[in-house]
Chains A and B, each alone.
Chain A
């Protein structure tokens, strides 16, 4: 059994995680003082990833029902990290905040991906009939007991 909504959510969370990973790679490079040159190509990639995240984050988080938990942290990262050179020039407390917020958003999305994959695995072992039978049984069990 394959659930269409579940597959969509998994696709969205994977795309979102990919972008957060790429952003992190570029931020890490920007913060690495041993690598002094930031090329215009790297800045272009950074802008591209940031633009994708700005467009998609709210929508994806809403689809996953985690807007309240993650949106603030995600926006904080995207607002602080305006460019790779901008990140390099941030004061140390701002950098720490950026890393903490990135980690918060990334952790929640990673957990969500794990839960969705587990659910997919569970569903893969069920036939359509079993799935609807379990659904029906759950509903039946949830019905309040009749008053005496």
Chain B
């Protein structure tokens, strides 16, 4: 399975050193975009293992921070032409963004980029569930969005575990008496994990009645989560049209 990377580069024809290095890797599929709105549009429509934003540090970090707000689980790296560690490291750590220096030395740059590519997990778990008698509800996210399914289950005061499986990975959301109690997706927990599942357009889901989580990472009522996440999704879609 190929690793897919989205590269945002405002001038991919003339500033193509990093692209040329990434092209050398036969197991890597890269898609190039020039603007933030194109990047968001591509991220909404397709799955990528990582995003590299190339450019001057101010603009690239701004764009990366913006993308992070909308795609909390995405692996993002900024390839900075004017890398100044002291200025950008703090924000990068806070936003979980990897910083790569656009070194003048090709070998160093190659090592930086290959390190980032290796760090990407190109084989997330794929949906492979069969029909199990304990699954009281099974379906496809193409037909029902996560928001619709959760809304329906919360309104009917259900308790149990939802498992969502897509090419991005698996996520679990636990309900208790019609409220979301706990959510987990990879390293994300709580509301961030719920927000991630809201964006999924493809994948499968099933519900297992009666499985309760001991952990509680979501403390807000479902209605608040729904409104916030739908608003966030709207904001993401607005970015595409800018």
Q: Spell out A's residues near B (CB within 8 Å).
A: 2, 4, 7-8, 11-12, 15, 41, 52, 55-56, 59-60, 124
Contact = CB atoms under 8 A, between A and B. Distances in A.
A15 B10 CA distance: 12
A124 B20 CA distance: 18
Interface residues of B, number: 12
Shortest beta-carbon contacts, A-B, top 7: A7-B23, A56-B13, A2-B26, A15-B12, A8-B20, A15-B13, A11-B19
Contacts of B26: 2, 124
A116 B162 CA distance: 47
A4 B13 contact: no
Nearest to A60: B13
A7 B20 CA distance: 8
B13 A59 contact: yes
25 contacts: A2-B23, A2-B24, A2-B26, A4-B20, A4-B23, A4-B24, A7-B20, A7-B23, A7-B24, A8-B16, A8-B20, A8-B23, A11-B16, A11-B23, A12-B13, A15-B12, A15-B13, A55-B13, A55-B14, A56-B13, A56-B14, A59-B13, A59-B14, A60-B13, A124-B26
A138 B116 CA distance: 40
Interface in B219-242: 241
B32 interface: yes
A56 B32 CA distance: 15
B241 to A, nearest CB: 8
Contacts of B12: 11, 15
Main SS of the interface on chain B? loop
B16 to A, nearest CB: 7
A124 B19 CA distance: 20
A11 B19 CA distance: 9
A55 B24 CA distance: 26
A130 to B, nearest CB: 16
Contacts of A56: 13-14
A70 to B, nearest CB: 16
Contacts of B24: 2, 4, 7
Contacts of A12: 13
A2 B26 CA distance: 7
Given A11-B16, A11-B32, A15-B13, 18 more contacts: A2-B23, A2-B24, A2-B26, A4-B23, A7-B20, A7-B23, A8-B16, A11-B12, A11-B23, A15-B12, A15-B32, A41-B241, A52-B34, A55-B14, A56-B14, A59-B13, A60-B13, A124-B26
A7 B26 CA distance: 10
B13 to A, nearest CB: 5
Interface string B1-35: 00000000000111010011001101000001010
A56 B14 CA distance: 8
B214 to A, nearest CB: 50
Nearest to A6: B23
Contacts of A55: 13-14
